[in-house]
Amino acid sequence: MSGLIRLRGFIQAMTRLADADTSERAWLTEGADLLRGLVAQDDWLPDSMAEDGPTYRQYLLHCDPAERFCVVSFVWGPGQRTPIHNHTVWGLVGMLRGEEVSTEMVPDPAGGPMRPGRVDRLRPGEVVPVSADTYDIHIVENAFSDRASISIHCYGGNIGAIPRSVFDPATGAARPFISGYHNSAVPNLWDRSRELAA
């Protein structure tokens, strides 16, 4: 199995989880197992969804029609990082290529500087959750200054359209944020003609 067949199978399995009215806890276990299977092989991501740019790229691979979950390719150019941000929904991060570092950022109740908490360094094939049960506010950065890194993310909604926040590290002050996506077309998973002709 290679190419988009692998991505299509993953999305079909995630859709079955959504249809089963899966709890957040189950998404973070069963969904994580599925994502681990997807990122175990690096032979399926279209090149157009793997290009880096002047800032980190966020390419939508699939959004469930009922917006119950989405699948996104994050491409980190050398040394690139996100602002401090939250998600408000469950998320799964699976490392496909290179490495990234996710650092939890903890607000100071008194309005002082935010402080770092848990640090996850992801290597290819590894999957970590984000959730209000673990941590929801973090900063993510490419672990490498000389090459791109790519991770595949799933969220419990259409993450590019969810009103979220970015945070000022000096004060913890929140500012509204809707991320959007960098691509205007998603991969065509449904041209089965080559498989059928094989």
Of 87, 109, 86, 112, the C-alpha closest to 167 is 86
Residue whose pair of structure tokens reads 């491409």 in the numeric block: 75
Could you tell me the two tokens for 115? 């402080």
> Which residues carry a binding-site annotation?
85, 87, 138
> What is the amino acid identity at position 94?
G
H or E stretch including 26?
helix 24-26
Q: Which residues are annotated as a binding site for Fe cation?
A: 85, 87, 138
Cα–Cα distance for residue pair 184/76, rounded to 1 Å? 19
Q: In what order do the strands lie in the sheet with 149-155?
A: 57-63, 70-76, 149-155, 91-97, 127-130
Tokens of 161: 């359209």
CA-to-CA dists, residue 101 to 85, 105, 130, 163, 192, angstroms: 14, 13, 13, 24, 37
